[in-house]
Amino acid sequence: MARARGPGATLKDIAQATGVSLMTVQRAVSGHRLVAVATRQLVLDAAERLGYRPNAFARAIRRGSFDSIGLLTSSDLGRSNLTLPLLDGIEDVLAARGKYLLHARMTDPQLLDEQLMPRLLGQTMIDGLLIKYDNRIPARMPELIERYRIPAIWINVKLAHDCVRPDDLALGEAGTKHLIDLGHRRIGYVDFSYDVDNPDEHYSSFDRFEGYRRAMDAAGLAVRSVRGRRLEPEARRQAAHGLLAGRDGATAAVCYGNNGAWVVRQTALALGRTLPGECSLLTLDGSFPAYLEIPLTGGRIDQRTMGRTATELLLEKLRRPERRLDPVLLPVTIVDEGSTGAAR
């Protein structure tokens, strides 16, 4: 019996150990249907005993596919928000297709390196890219992806093609309409997450506010907004106080996210206004950190579905890399968790 060998055993070693021709061994390990069952088992048993490991790179070159995709993110964590449900959605699709995920986290200078994109596909051995780069995207990055014809799908980015994102405009509109349907007529909008004077901020800041504005205009109601990431904590509290206080103060607030929701909630309580009895609060961010203390009525974005959809779209693009795919807008829902009530 041939002596077992460590990793590095070749197909020729297996042929010598089994007395089977090299061509038959090649067919057996690749699953060729013309190899007899008994012969295939003989070869596979010898391959395991000898410690044979197939050359994945060579096999990928022959097939023209590495069976792997890359997830590209920024090294600045504030610009690439990865959630576990999003990653689960990506893995759901890849596992079902027998494919793998590689994560590449890059700095801005790395992303703008002329040779980065070719290296990502060639040296890292991936077939295409999922890009989770939420805001302040380096201007030349999309240009380099186009130039080198990198099959890529952007996640949670607003582009004319090859992207998957929530319908944030519909989210802002639906959240505001929820309050209008409860009888509220003085509804404020609060966003302390983004600098609204910077057009490079994440698109959702602008789309959610536009959805709020459209709902208010359709109902013939006045827009009342407090927006600005650069406001200091005391300035935020004063702005929320000005929105809620007085006989003409807002009876409800739509908040872009949890930063604003926290400030509005604390301000309402300081004014002696109970939630939801005297002040209704709705957040368009569906995740609730512990500091909020209570669940809030608000938007739900299915991150797992977003991951699945983006991955399926990328696999579709890999079949025809030259084709530009239409953007996919994911539906959103408003879930009532008890922080909104009828206007008094």
Same domain, residue pair 154 and 109: yes
C-beta neighbour count of 276 within 10 angstroms = 21
Q: Number of structural domains, the chain?
A: 3
Query: What is the pLDDT, as a whole number, of residue 5?
Result: 42
Distance CA 292, CA 331 (A): 25
Query: What is the pLDDT, as a whole number, of residue 28?
Result: 81
Same domain, residue pair 258 and 172: yes
Chain centroid to CA 138: how far? 18
Same domain, residue pair 200 and 291: yes
- Domain containing residue 311: 65-166+304-330
Same domain, residue pair 22 and 113: no
Query: What is the pLDDT, as a whole number, of residue 106?
Result: 81
Same domain, residue pair 47 and 133: no
Same domain, residue pair 155 and 242: no
Asked whether the CA dihedral 214, 216, 220, 224 is positive or negative, the reply is: negative
Query: What is the pLDDT, as a whole number, of residue 6?
Result: 43
Calculate the alpha carbon distances from 237 to 256, 259, 260, 297 in Å. 16, 11, 10, 21
Query: What is the pLDDT, as a whole number, of residue 189?
Result: 98
234: region left, alpha or beta (phi > 0 left; psi from -120 to 50 alpha): alpha
Same domain, residue pair 287 and 188: yes
In a domain, 271, yes or no: yes
Same domain, residue pair 159 and 308: yes
Looking at residue 206, which CATH number applies to its domain? Answer: 3.40.50.2300
pTM for the predicted model, two decimal places:
0.79
Asked whether the CA dihedral 166, 106, 315, 142 is positive or negative, the reply is: positive
Residues of the chain with pLDDT under 70: 1-8, 31-33, 53-66, 114-125, 288-292
| Peptide bond just before 295 cis, omega within 30 deg | no
